Amino acid sequence: MAAAPAANMYGPSAPPPNMFDTVPGYEGTLAGGGGGYLPPPMPSVPMPAPEQPPSPDWHIPSISEDRAREAFAAYVSSKCCYSSAPVKDGVLTNMESFNTYRYRLETFTESRSTEWSQEPYAGQPVDAGLQPAPGPWQIAAQPPAFFQEQKQTIKVPFTSSVKNCHLCLGNGRSPCTNCAGAGNKVCWVCNGSGNRSGEDRCSHCNGRGRENCTSCSGSGSSQCTTCHGKRQLLVFINLIVKWSIEKDDFVAQDSSGLKVEKLQEVSGKELFKDSQYMVYPVRGFPDVSVAQASERLIREHQGKYAQTSRILQQRQTIELIPITKVNYRWKGKPNFYYVYGNEFKVNADDYPATCCCSVM
């Protein structure tokens, strides 16, 4: 008689809801997570007020003609199809500097979520009900240094209990998936007929028309993959603590003509840096759009992240990304290129002396 299908013998593979105990403070916890992040409690003592940083000196550097030529020469030499003639013979007519600023706000947060977990029971401590489980935000976790992302999983004390494995119903074995628990399969040589040619009995299955399943050696079952044959599971709540950097940038508009996405490739000269528990909006910056972005992003980070996580530190920086538009003439025609960033990257989309190359 063939074995019953897996679903009827051993039930569904997902843990049934009644497998998990009700733990005060963790009622919304789901198996496998998905319950969302838990809002932090109100601080028991007032958090430190942000300190107003002193007004910095907004000094703007400029690039020299020699440095612009060197960057242009290095750029052209890196291109296999670019002639160096415009570099050697081009006549520089003028250089235009553009003050382009990047404001960045980083908020370092700690968030916590919970999930029901399970593992094969092999004598681990069982402590559910011995005393109330501590709340998700009462459990100590060792944070990393500020602005270093990290994730930590902690077993919540006093939530561990032992249950029969829901997949194999405590048998320790599950039906073989290759033979559906029958222990044998249709003989592949005679196709289940028991005979090969004419009236000759199939020698492969000795005329039975079926052969033993090699995956389970004919037993029809294999070790349960959930409890690893232990028959029981330790079920408990895991606390997942996550330290994250939430970051937003604002790049002030400029009239250089260089595409804004190019600026993502480079760094700038750091004009201002402020790091503390809570930062103040920037005051007195020459470009009013940067000051406005600072105020807006700080307000947005408070509204967005303080509801579901604990803000540990904030950091704001302002970089000057130098952009120089270099105008030159070559063979009597005007041309230009850009030099930008601390790395002195060059953009020359309309380089006047290129050739077509082909690989044979």
Domain spans in the chain, listed from the N-terminal domain onward: 65-106+243-347, 173-223
Q: What is the pLDDT of residue 255?
A: 80
Cα atoms in the 13 Å half-sphere on the side-chain side of 307: 6
Q: What is the pLDDT of residue 7?
A: 38
**Contact partners, residue 254, CB within 8 Å, separation at least 6:** 98, 99, 100, 323
Q: Hey, what are 189's tokens?
A: 């040589």
Q: pTM of the full predicted structure?
A: 0.74
Whole-number Å distance between alpha carbons of 272 and 315: 11
Q: What is the pLDDT of residue 355?
A: 72
Whole-number Å distance between alpha carbons of 79 and 359: 15
Calculate mean pLDDT across residues 183-201: 81
pLDDT at 356 over 70: no
pLDDT at 265 over 90: no
The number of residues in the chain equals 360
Q: What is the pLDDT of residue 201?
A: 85
Under a CB-based contact definition with an 8 Å cutoff, are residues 116 and 17 in contact?
Answer: no
Q: Hey, what are 22's tokens?
A: 């009700």
Whole-number Å distance between alpha carbons of 71 and 65: 10
Query: Residue 171: how many CB atoms within 10 A of its CB?
Result: 16
| DSSP-derived 3-state class of residue 71 | helix
Q: What is the pLDDT of residue 289?
A: 92
Least confident of 16-30, 143-157, 159-173, 304-318: 16-30
Calculate mean pLDDT across residues 231-256: 93
pLDDT at 262 over 70: yes
Q: How confident is the model at residue 11 (pLDDT cuts 50, 70, 90)?
A: very low
Query: Residue 281: how many CB atoms within 10 A of its CB?
Result: 18
Q: What is the pLDDT of residue 6?
A: 40
Calculate mean pLDDT across residues 87-111: 92
Write down the H helix ranges in the chain: 6-10, 65-77, 85-89, 288-305
Least confident of 126-140, 169-183, 239-253: 169-183
pLDDT at 221 over 80: yes
Q: How confident is the model at residue 10 (pLDDT cuts 50, 70, 90)?
A: very low
Q: What is the pLDDT of residue 8?
A: 38
The closest of 10, 29, 11 to 20, measured between CA atoms, is 29
Q: Hey, what are 150's tokens?
A: 């990290």
Q: What is the pLDDT of residue 60?
A: 59
Q: How confident is the model at residue 61 (pLDDT cuts 50, 70, 90)?
A: low
